[in-house]
Every structure is written in C-alpha cells, then in structure tokens.
Amino acid sequence: MNASLTAEIAASAARLVVEDGMEYGPAKRKAARALGRHSVRPAELPSNEAVEDEVRAYIELFCADTQPQELLALRQLALHWMERLAEFRPHLAGAVWRGTATRLSAVQLDLYCDDSKSAEIALINLGLDYDTASRSDGRGGEQSVLSLGVRCAPLNELVTVHLNILDHDDLRGALKGDAQGRSWRGDATALRRLVPLETSA
C-alpha cells in the first residue's frame, strides 16, 4: 500500500474516531473499506500513532472549543473510578489518558489483579451492573473486559467505562512509552497532575 493511501486511511479513521467514538482498530478497517480496500492486512494499515496524530489535528480544527472541557470531565470521572478501585492498581489508558478524548470516548482502565476474578467480585460487592467480554491480549491469549455504563454529570451523558483485567505481572511493562517517549497509560498520581485541583470527581 502506498504512503498516500495509508495517510488517507489514517485521516478517514480519525474522523470516525472523533465523530462516531470508534476505537482505532475498527475505525482503520472501516476507513480502508470505504476507500475500496476490502482485504487489507493489519501490517498495511496506518499505525495507531499515525491515526492519533490525525485525531489531534481533527480536534484542533473542528472541536477546539468543546473538547478540552469534555476531556477534563472524562478525566475527572476516570480519577473517581481509579480511587474506588485503587486496590487493583488502576492505570488510565486510551484517549482519555492520551488527551484525545471527546464526549463519545470510553474510559479505559487497566486493572492489574493478583486474581482475575477479584475485580468482578468487587463490582458485585458494590452492587454494580456490568457486562463481560474478552479481547485479544496481543500475545495469542485473551483478556477479560468488564464494562459499566456510568453517568457523567458535567457531560449529562452515560459514559462507558471499560475495566481491562490484566495480570499483576503485566504492570512491569505497563509504562513503556511510544516512539516519541509519551506514555501509553498512567496511574492516579500521574492523572492528578492533569486534573485541576479545584475541580471534583
């Protein structure tokens, strides 16, 4: 695939991410199909970093007046849940951590558990309803995902919070950075540096 088509897919995927709240993987595949590429290998698609760069550009051009407030509200919501689930060493990942989230974005929390069922038991003890799913862990296995619908008052929206259940040992490699040295996730202490102290969760 030539570089110009890859760039076109990245730009089209970015629009789907911002306007429809899609995750990067599905957005890239849908963008490729829309551009007439119906059988594209993953290696031929633009990288997540390339899509993210396009997302940032799209937000700056079309959402600069609303996105900062929406991002702040989602970060406050994430911090609230990180504090509630502190025993599972939560780290915020995805668009809310990376600063590209809008009101359509889900909150992605990685939980590092000694026992994979312990987070689920905690949600039950809190009387919370949740859905369960699984997805590839990128190493040939699967990881559990617990999903909640949570009211975000500043946005007057129901926001999806995904709890990605990971093994405690995975925490050692969790803070590796991207090609530009930016971290892919951060803990509550790191997130508090991004949330103004005068605001509440």
pLDDT tens, position by position, 29-67? 999 999 888 777 888 899 999 999 999 999 999 999 999
Domain ranges in the chain are 3-62, 67-192
pTM of the predicted protein model: 0.88
> 167 forms bridges with which residues in the sheet?
113
pLDDT tens-digit series, residues 166-192: 987 777 666 676 767 778 899 999 999
Q: Is 126 buried (19+), middle (13-18) or exposed (0-12) by CB count in 10 A?
A: exposed
How far, CA to CA in Å, does 31 sit from each of 2, 13, 43?
15, 5, 15
Q: How far apart are CA 105 and CA 156, in angstroms?
A: 14
- Across the range 22-32, mean pLDDT stands at 94
Judge: domain 67-192, CATH 3.30.460.10.
yes
